[in-house]
């Protein structure tokens, strides 16, 4: 079934490149700057916008994204304001939007209510980081009923025997975490990414994207050779974090960074 996510991956395949997925924390450092940041990365050529839903205990995130979530929460971001942000983005763009969230936030509202609200606002998929597929039956049903895609994570430590289960639970794309640990910029890439992507593809026809620690043009170019998509997060969040007192400067730096990285995703194929 055609949807915004499948369409951008199909388009990227035709153009012999990997999709570029940009992560930003919703509401960082404040609502208006966050909208401007989303607009900047979209206009710079990204394929998918991954919005981190601010959470007080983001266990999978490194310091950069922890601080981004803290700034967002302190600026007044709530569950409803995150949806307002999505609606603001939808006013000027049809780019696919994926929520990167923690299950506590979903559970507090209930999977049915959360999925329905997200879909109504314009969200295309939910990546619920700490919800294993073995315990996701009700959540998967709620997403299916709301016509929301699901994204599940494969880690370097994931046993091969779990891959079929993870892939079966996924309807949008599979997210391979390129290294153990938390999110954050890294100077070097993990080894074995291509072989792990290949192993995942043995169990699904869905796209496989790679994220966590990808922060340079060389990283993007390397991952784009084997994966269907490349996720960059902390390197973008840092563009905002280092210019908190000057929104114009932070948005300009964000555009410069995203432009240099997006260009590299076209080298796949």
Residue 244, pLDDT above cutoff 90: no
How much is the pLDDT for 1?
Answer: 47
Is 151 within the bounds of a domain? yes
How much is the pLDDT for 185?
Answer: 47
H helices of the chain, in order, are 4-14, 31-43, 63-74, 79-90, 103-109, 111-121, 137-145, 163-169, 193-201, 217-224, 234-241, 247-262
Residues in the chain: 269
Of the pLDDT bands very low, low, confident and very high (cuts 50, 70, 90), residue 7 is: very high
| Listed residue (196, 159, 144) closest to 175, CA to CA | 196
Is 267 within the bounds of a domain? no
Distance between CA atoms of residues 261 and 46, nearest Å: 10
Burial 25-46 (b: 16+ CB within 10 A, else e): bbbbbbbebbbbbbbbbbebeb
Q: What is the pLDDT of residues 21-67, one digit of tens each?
A: 999 999 999 999 999 999 999 999 999 999 999 988 766 667 787 88
Is 147 within the bounds of a domain? yes
| Listed residue (4, 7, 46) closest to 23, CA to CA | 46
How much is the pLDDT for 266?
Answer: 61
What is the number of domains present in the chain? 1
Question: Residue 162, Cα to own-chain centre: how many angstroms?
Answer: 22
Q: What is the pLDDT of residues 137-172, one digit of tens each?
A: 999 999 999 999 999 999 988 999 999 999 999 999
Is 85 within the bounds of a domain? yes
Token pair of 13, please? 């395949």
How much is the pLDDT for 124?
Answer: 98
Of residues 259 and 37, more confidently modeled:
37
Taking the alpha carbons of 53, 56, 57, 58 in that order, is the dihedral positive or negative? positive
Residue 146 is part of a domain; what is its CATH number? 3.20.20.70
76: containing domain: 4-262
Of the pLDDT bands very low, low, confident and very high (cuts 50, 70, 90), residue 179 is: low
Residue 181, pLDDT above cutoff 60: no
Q: What is the pLDDT of residues 121-134, one digit of tens each?
A: 999 999 999 999 99
- Could you list the active site residues? 50, 61
How much is the pLDDT for 57?
Answer: 78
Residue 183, pLDDT above cutoff 60: no
Residue 109, pLDDT above cutoff 60: yes
Distance between CA atoms of residues 209 and 21, nearest Å: 9
Report the predicted TM-score, pTM, of the whole model to 2 decimal places.
0.92
H helices of 129-192, in order, are 137-145, 163-169
Token pair of 113, please? 């209510």
φ/ψ of residue 50, rounded to 5: -105, 115
* Average pLDDT value for residue range 206-223: 89
Is 269 within the bounds of a domain? no
Is 178 within the bounds of a domain? yes
Is 46 within the bounds of a domain? yes
Is 17 within the bounds of a domain? yes
Bridge partners, residue 229, by sequence: 19, 209
């Amino acid at each position: 079934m055609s949807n915004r996510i499948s369409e951008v991956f199909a388009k990227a395949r035709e153009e012999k490149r990997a999709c570029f997925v940009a992560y930003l924390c919703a509401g960082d450092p404040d609502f208006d700057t966050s909208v401007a940041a989303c607009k900047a990365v979209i206009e710079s050529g990204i394929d998918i916008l991954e919005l981190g839903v601010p959470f007080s205990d983001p266990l999978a995130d490194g310091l950069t994204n922890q601080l981004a979530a803290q700034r967002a929460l302190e600026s007044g971001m709530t569950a409803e304001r995150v949806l307002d942000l999505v609606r603001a983005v939808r006013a000027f763009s049809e780019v696919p939007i994926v929520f990167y969230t923690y299950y506590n936030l979903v559970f507090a509202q209930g999977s049915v209510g959360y999925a329905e609200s997200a879909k109504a606002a314009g969200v295309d998929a939910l990546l619920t980081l700490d919800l294993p597929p073995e315990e996701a039956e009700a959540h998967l049903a709620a997403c299916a009923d709301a016509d929301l895609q699901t994204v599940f994570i494969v880690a370097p430590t994931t046993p091969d025997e779990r891959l079929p289960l993870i892939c079966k639970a996924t309807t949008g794309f599979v997210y391979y975490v390129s290294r153990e640990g938390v999110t954050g910029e890294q100077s070097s890439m993990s080894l074995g990414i291509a072989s792990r992507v290949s192993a995942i593809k043995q169990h699904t026809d869905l796209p496989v994207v790679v994220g966590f620690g990808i922060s340079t043009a060389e990283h993007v170019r390397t991952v784009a050779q084997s994966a269907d998509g490349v996720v960059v997060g902390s390197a973008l969040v840092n563009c905002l974090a280092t210019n908190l007192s000057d929104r114009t400067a932070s948005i300009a730096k964000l555009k410069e960074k995203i432009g240099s990285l997006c260009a590299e995703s076209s080298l796949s194929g």
